Structure 1
Amino acid sequence: MLPPILANLRIPVVASPMFIVSVPDLVIAQCKAGIVGSFPALNAREKDGEPPLLDLWLTRIQEELDRHNQANPDRPAAPFAVNQIVHRSNARLERDIEICHRHRVPIWITSLGARVEVNEAAHDCGGITLHDVINNTFAQKAIQKGADGLIAVAAGAGGHAGQESPFALVQEIRQWFNGPLLLSGAIATGRAVLAAQAMGADLAYIGSPFIATTEANAVPDYKQMIVDSKAADVVYTNLFTGVHGNYLAPSIRNAGMDPEALETADPTKMDFGAAAGKAKAWSQIWGSGQGIGAIKKIQPAGGYIDQLAAEYALARAEICG
């Protein structure tokens, strides 16, 4: 059974937090259109001596959504989420937890490690936690450490994706877990959202299609590459961060590398606090999931969500008769 905060969305979709790409403009547009919008806390990077940008971003998001709700009581915005990278290299984690706790962030998405204290902080301010996992073992550990729900990151997902089929991953988790379950992996249409539910997930977790939206913090060439590319253009490698993820082959070529001859990185060298890199993932090397073959144009996020909602309704009508 879904918690109330996830039960009344326009369509059962959570927009995944994308490094660099997800910013307040995109999150606000997603929430106003009726799905959960999210962003990584690490996207809010202030200069030395400036106040924490995360604090300012949360204030803006909350104030704009409050104004929307007051003006549209019959069509309130969906809640928003903040993603915390809980890997040991994230030196900002403790500070960012304090800021999110103070702002009473309603949904916390945790990645790259399950931490009891992060779940406790979320619960203490009335929030829920969703932890992303790539296999059943990690899923069990996350729930044991206090996560409320799981995001099954299956093969074909953008970002730090797993290798397991969504059918296999969801069915293994559902053998023991009845709580909130999201599915990530090449979901880009309303029909795919319905398929995720038929498979056993409660909600779909969608990222890459939102790169090709006007509110996304992505350069025009990146957005156009999403439109022009398909599943065969996505490369799975751990070279850029130490964790395996999916990237667009044309962007790898543009950085002077051969996507078919990439080295393997040492996962112990992961560093999410580093500010520089010769071909830094997500800025020069562009991430994407395999579902982008369905994306045919750059458009506002609200327009894409309208499209998803229409496709989802049509698929339900066709299948349910």
Structure 2
Amino acid sequence: MSLPPILSRLRLPVVAAPMFIVSGPDLVIAQCKAGIVGSFPALNAREAAGEPPRLEAWLTRIEEELDRHNQANPDSPAAPFAVNQIVHKTNARLQRDIEICHRHKVPIWITSLGARPEVNEAAHDCGGITLHDIINVTYARKALEKGADGLIAVAAGAGGHAGPQSPFALVQEIRAFFDGPLLLSGAIATGGAVLAAQAMGADLAYIGSPFIATPEANADPAYKQMICDSGAEDIVTTAAITGISGNYLAPSIRNAGLDPVALGTGDPAQLDFASPGGSGKPKAWSQIWGCGMGIGAVEAVIPVADRVAQLAGEYAAAKARIAAL
């Protein structure tokens, strides 16, 4: 099956992953202008009690800035944007955020940590498509049964909450029963890796961690530099931080006063998006920093436009190299 039009006219076959805290309007707008899908979690738009919903303001700003870009650049319009809805029982804002995204006719909805038919229905009702992230075939089948249009295969090596399976195994098993839009996540940080994802059967790559090391990312400068200074061996996979297995930078774990090799186990019941991290403990994302295993390719903090241009050059070079074999 061919890709839906909204995903088929990108500069590169890349969707930028929504990252908790890190992804905001500055990052999303820069990603879309550079020609890839930019995204952010709806929960990143947090307002103080009594203030109007910040999600509304963020969506308005993104829409207006991308519209101005498109009017000024009719030959190179911006890519569409996506909003990530964390479909978890502790997300008390879910229904409100669904209504806001429906009102703004968000074109791409990314759902995580649960699959609910009503979210897919809301997206379809306003003309959008839904992509659901999964870590195994069981979750993939459930997501499709509940109305998801496409899947994001979160394989081993992905930043944040990552799956344990090899991308080769996960993609091949999904393709045995699903021919719709399939994205692959897991240690993808170069244009060659984007091409490799397509070669094994995915339609697009899903890239997060390299975009933390950009001026537009809402991340501590020390976080950005730690990514530039680290490699795959600096990533710790553990469920002790949030209760669900994830990948984190070992130096940030040590900076939080913990021992990366003696973290213990985690309980899924501790996952709480109303109060991430838990009371009195170092908090995931703000103090203990998520990261994927592909960061050995990230050597400097550079603007999003330059990062995408680098990926594009590597992608073209990889295609030429393979064609010459």
Q: How does 1:219-234 map to 2 (within 5 A)?
A: 219-234=220-235
Aligned length: 321
Match of residue 292 from structure 1: 295
* Residue in 2 that maps onto 1:236: 237
The yes-or-no answer on 1:319 pairing with 2:322 is yes
What's the counterpart of residue 45 of structure 2?
Answer: 44
Deviations 1:29-59 (A, max 9, x none): 0000000000000000000110000000000
AA in 2 matched with 1:301: V
Question: SS of the counterpart of 2:15?
Answer: strand
Q: Equivalences for 1:24-63 in 2 at 5 Å?
A: 24-63=25-64
For the residue of structure 2 that corresponds to 1:290, the secondary structure is coil
Q: Percent identity?
A: 77
Superposition RMSD on alpha carbons, in Å? Answer: 0.7
Distance 1:147 1:247 in 2: 29
5+ long unaligned stretches in structure 2:
none
SS at match of 1:14: strand
Q: Which residue of 1 aligns with 2:91?
A: 90
Q: Tell me what 1:118 maps to.
A: 119
Letter in 2 for 1:167: F
TM-score, with structure 1 as normaliser: 0.99
In structure 2, the partner of 1:308 is 311
State the Cα deviation string for residues 53-103 of structure 1 (Å, max 9, x = none). 000000000000000000000000000000000011100000000000000
Q: Of residues 269, 282, 287 in structure 1, which corresponds to 2:285?
A: 282
Partners of 1:298 and 1:68 lie apart in 2 by 24
Name the counterpart of 1:108: 109
**TM-score under structure 2 length normalisation:** 0.98
Find the residue that maps to 1:247 and give its secondary structure.
Answer: strand
Matched, 1:256 2:290: no
List gaps (5 residues or longer) in structure 1: none
Q: Could you tell me how far apart the structure 1 residues matched to 2:44 and 2:244 are?
A: 18
SS of the equivalent of 1:38 reads strand
- Distance across 2 between alignment mates of 1:34 and 1:77: 6
Matched residues in 1 for 2:256 and 2:272: separation? 21
**Aligned to 1:212, what secondary structure does the other structure show?**
coil
Separation of aligned partners in 1, 2:72 and 2:275 = 42
- Supply the distance in 2 between the matched residues of 1:251 and 1:209 (Cα, whole angstroms): 17
* 1:149 aligns to 2:150 (yes or no): yes
CA offset digits 1:129-183 (Å, max 9, x no partner): 0000000110000000000000000000001100000000000000000000000
